[in-house]
Structures are given as structure tokens and as C-alpha cells.
Amino acid sequence: MKTQKEIWQNMSGKFFTDPIEILVKEAIIREQNLGHTLKVCIGSDSHVYGNEIHYATAVVFVRKEKGAFTFIRKQKEYQNISIKERMLNEVNKSVEIAYRIFEILDEFNVEMEVHADINTDAEFKSNIALKDAMGYILGMGYVFKAKPFAFASSNCADLMV
């Protein structure tokens, strides 16, 4: 599986080459110095284009009663997989980032949620991965959110994928 180099961007299209750990730490310090209380929500989404799967992972900083800002990582993979495997790949991409930044968030007392772009309604195809995704995220010790409460994946990442 071939994956693009990790480059982050914001919703305005500004690119960042620093690792997410540095971006997160700098953002927390800046925002807390401004008096903001933060929560970080991480989610991924994907779209299929032929044999390409385009993924976007969003790290959303929610300022209590003061808006939000986001770092986005885009990736392409070349494979033909089931919808369940693709949903679990999305979750894995989110958990990977959560794992990388968890200690930083903990150091600065910032809450974190991991959002899955998976519908809780069994009528939708993505629901096939709900139990596995929930078990994975909760098993890692993270707070789990699915649709309709998973805005980091369903809105932020979805806009950029």
C-alpha cells in the first residue's frame, strides 16, 4: 500500500510541514495563553475514486464557546477493499493520530474524542463496522463518537477528502 508523505493543512489551505505533535503543542500553548479552554476531536473520512481511496484526517481544536480550527492530513491509497475495511481504515488513521498526540493533550489537560464516520442506524452501509470501530476506540481508552455526533469525521474531514 502506497501512502503520500505526511503534510498537514488548515481549512483555508495553508500547509504545514511540521509533525502533528509540534503543531498540536504549539496550538495548545497559543490558545491556552489566550485563555481558551480546548477539546480536541479527531476523525477521518474517505471517498473512493476507481481504485484510489482518498482519506482525510481532521484534528479539530474546539475552543469552549469561541469556535474551532482544524489541521487536516490528506492521503491516497491504491487498493480495492470492502466498505467495512475502509471504515476501519478511517478509524485506524484517527487512532494513529490520537496515539501520537495523547500525551501532549494529557500534559496540557486537554480532552480528546475520536470520531468515527459510521452511522449508528443499521439502514446505512457503514453500520457494518460500528461494533468493531467502537471496540477499537474504546479499547484504546479514548472517548468514542459516531454519527450524528462525529463532526470531526462527518463534517471537517468530509469537506477536505
Running along the chain, 161 residues long, what does each successive block of 10 average in pLDDT? 71 94 98 97 95 96 95 93 94 97 98 95 90 95 94 90 83
With beta carbons less than 8 A apart as the criterion, state whether 116 and 43 touch.
Answer: yes
> What is the distance between the alpha carbons of residues 68 and 105, in angstroms, rounded to a whole number?
16
Q: Computed from CA positions of residues 84, 86, 88, 91, in that sequence, does the dihedral angle turn out positive or negative?
A: negative
> What is the distance between the alpha carbons of residues 70 and 72, in angstroms, rounded to a whole number?
6
pLDDT (0 to 100) of residue 5: 61
pTM of the entire structure? Answer: 0.92
> What is the distance between the alpha carbons of residues 48 and 105, in angstroms, rounded to a whole number?
32
Backbone angles phi, psi at 121, to 5 degrees: -85, 120
pLDDT (0 to 100) of residue 56: 96
